[in-house]
Amino acid sequence: MKNNQYSGFLNVSFDYGLFENHLDAIYVTGLQGDIIYANPAASNLFCCPKDELMCRSYREVMVSGEMEAFHYYFQKAAEGETNQFELAMSGSDRNRLILQVMMVPNEIEGRVVSIAVYMRDITDRKLLEERLERMALERTFSNELSKVEHLQTVSQLAASISHEVRNPLTVTRGFIQLLRDTVVSEEKKEQYINISLAELDRAEHIITDYLNFAKPSMQNAELLELNRELEYIVQVIQPYASMGNIGVHTIKDDEKDIYILGQGKKFHQSLINIIKNGIEAMEQGGDLTIRLTEKDDKAVIVIQDTGKGMSAEQIRMLGTPFYTTKEQGTGLGMMVSFSIIKAMEGECEVESTPGRGTCFTITFPAIPFPQAGNALN
């Protein structure tokens, strides 16, 4: 249909029929906001039959919390200014819509007589933009989090080095204190000095190669005979245990050699950590028992103390970075011990009862004696 009164709309001869099938909501108002034309898309948007729309003002049919902005731009359009903006309003299904709105003044002989309002639903586009922006923010956050995690890792490594070096230094200190005793024989002095030097070498090794400890590997695996390895570990830890009035007992279910594959220094480190924690859990003295056996092709080491024990929650948290039951602990020693045991294809189970002590059961794949000579080939 033709409407000659608005034939100058958009500065061209305007046929409203062009917009009847348009997907965008389009309506035309007088300067007071009364609707004089609306296409079917506008009728759907406002949930109002077209005939009823053309008898009402846009103020009556629009549901939006941003009407002040709409009125402002409408007034600008009434003054001859074309403008475009975004508007949020409720749709026919009461869902929130985001509309791109354009207001175009229709002038006849230099005077604005009506305003055409175009409303395009850009909800999906805006949601996509928001999603992409959120994804970008998440990527940025992830990158920043990764940086923080790297810094935390550096912090953990630094704290771990301090903790791990303290073990051989503590042992060395114990031997030096024993050397001050004038009744120690020359043979014992020589033995204490040799062990002290070996422990200092171990401390140096930890400092220079600690990054390898953080991610243990078996690239330099060697054949370890557990009877001999445990004898060395007991020798190292004995002075520290004696200072706390703690007896260390070794039990072997049989006298045969038991072989596993691993790295000697790392194996020492992991067990000394566990044994040292057991000693420190017996503040009033006690007994620490180390049992070695072979069962079902597994080498089994059981470390039992008579200390204060742990709750189920403390056992669950054991090995978590910075979690510790000791006042001066860092919680990193057990983390490294578990990591080394796992790298050696071992498993560690912990049982404990508050007030009655803790038991660590550590198992490794055992290498049968006839194959031990070829294990590294």
The pLDDT, as a whole number, for residue 217 is 57
Give the separation between CA 143 and CA 158, rounded to whole angstroms.
Answer: 23
The pLDDT, as a whole number, for residue 263 is 87
Q: How many CB atoms lie within 10 A of CB 283?
A: 10
Number of H helices and number of E strands within the chain?
A: 11, 12
Q: Which amino acid is at 6?
A: Y
The pLDDT, as a whole number, for residue 225 is 93
Give the separation between CA 119 and CA 102, rounded to whole angstroms.
Answer: 7
Give the separation between CA 234 and CA 257, rounded to whole angstroms.
Answer: 17
Give every residue of the chain whose pLDDT is below 70, as ranges: 1-18, 91-94, 140-161, 163-164, 182, 205-219, 320-332, 369-377
358 beta partners: 352
Q: How far is CA 123 from the centre of its chain?
A: 34
Secondary structure (DSSP) of 31-82: TTSBEEEE-HHHHHHHTS-HHHHTTSBHHHH---TTHHHHHHHHHHHHTT--
Handedness of CA 252, 255, 259, 265 (dihedral sign): positive
The pLDDT, as a whole number, for residue 4 is 36
Q: Which candidate, 47, 16, 186, places its Cα nearest to that of 116?
A: 16
Q: Which residues contact 183 (CB under 8 A, 6 or more apart)?
A: none
The pLDDT, as a whole number, for residue 77 is 92
Q: Which candidate, 235, 342, 234, places its Cα nearest to that of 289?
A: 234
The pLDDT, as a whole number, for residue 121 is 87
Tokens of 192: 């204490």
Tokens of 200: 């200092």
326 beta partners: none
Tokens of 207: 């400092």
